[in-house]
Amino acid sequence: MIPETLETYFLTRKAEVDQRLEATLPAASCPPAGLHEAMRYALFAGGKRLRPILCLAACDAVRGRRDAVLPFAAALELIHTYSLVHDDLPAMDNDDFRRGKPTTHKVFGEATAILVGDALLTAAFGQMAEAGLAGDSPPKKVLTVIRALADAAGSAGMVGGQYADVASEGKPHLDLEQVYDIHMRKTGDLIRSAVRIGGMLGGASPKQLTALTRYGEAVGLAFQIADDLLDVEGQTIETGKSTGADAARGKWTYPRKIGAEAARKEAEAMSERAVSALKPFGPEADRLREIAVLVVRRTK
């Protein structure tokens, strides 16, 4: 048998996640139809499904049962998508394009976009509780996962990072530590959580979970720096969203703070740190290792 390449792995996991999302989200025709249509538009707009895939790959790394983790991987994508829909709103980052398509509020209006985000976030928690009741994982472990994800996505995590990001716009000076803090909350917390959840539900030992946490932290930061570099260097046609937008808004990023060259080196260093965190694992963590390399090499 030909060994599965990373590309095949990505495509297969993405298809599984999409199928799960497809099966659990109400049909576009379910009342209120307009809302469900808009939720599906936001969710199936061509995302890479990085967070669910990291979650499933972490489950693989501890030789866990991937099917038991799948609903939680899908919930991660629901949370990620809701955050994009809200971040794109005129009152926030005011982005017209995302993944090469008009953003949800451009197509369905602001009121609907706000409600789409609210509904996706709510569905994420409903989905996890549902999976817990289906019995593939112990209920107590599922509650631990729900609490962890609420922490990572809430006011001390992702939402807090987005707040600090918006609040820092146009400020004349930020320490590198503050930029790091915004990045970790805004992007890092959910990515770390994705990796941890895959490990926890997959049955990781405490030592394995510590290693996965360090991996997740490093990959999250590497990813965010790479994303900011794309905003500086990328082309709209490649990234599917407006470039140079961060600078225009006076956003604080690694490239702005320490320069593009140093930022790229930092992202590479984080990628290496992620790989070295996986030393306790054998080839079962190869996918995680490959993803750590990939996130800093991507062009979109």
Which residue, 189 or 231, has its beta carbon nearer to a copy of itself? 189
Q: Which of 121, 190, 204, 285 binds a copy of itself (CB under 8 A)?
A: 121
Provide the minimum distance between the beta carbon of 131 and a copy of itself in the complex, in angstroms, as a whole number: 9
Q: At CA 140, angle to CA 154 and CA 137, rounded to 5?
A: 100
Whole-angstrom Cα distance, residue 189 to residue 292? 16
Long-range own/partner contacts, residues 275-279 (CB < 8 A, 24 or more apart) = 277/211, 277/212, 277/214, 277/215, 277/218, 278/61, 278/211, 278/215, 279/211
CB of 50 to a copy of itself, least distance (A): 20
Q: Which of 12, 15, 34, 67 binds a copy of itself (CB under 8 A)?
A: 34
Rg (CA), the chain: 18
| Distance, CA of 210 to CA of 227 (rounded, Å) | 26
If one asks whether residue 147 binds a copy of itself (CB under 8 A), the answer comes out as yes
197 forms part of the interface with a copy of itself (CB under 8 A) = no
Q: Measured from the CB atom, is 203 or 240 closer to a copy of itself?
A: 203
Q: How far is the CB of 251 from a copy of itself (least distance, A)?
A: 13
Two tokens, residue 14 = 């993405």
Residue 283: what are its φ and ψ, rounded to 5°?
Answer: -65, -15
- List binders of a copy of itself among 154-193 (CB under 8 A): 154-156, 159-160, 162-164, 166-167
Find tokens 């590198």 and name the residue: 176
Task: Among 2, 140, 172, 207, indicate the residue that binds a copy of itself (CB under 8 A).
Answer: 140
Cα angle 20, 22, 26 (rounded to 5 degrees) comes to 120
Q: Does 119 bind a copy of itself (CB under 8 A)?
A: yes
Site residues, a copy of itself (CB under 8 A): 26, 30-32, 34-36, 39, 82-83, 86, 89, 91-92, 109-112, 114-115, 117-119, 121-123, 125-130, 132-133, 138-140, 142-144, 146-147, 150-151, 153-156, 159-160, 162-164, 166-167
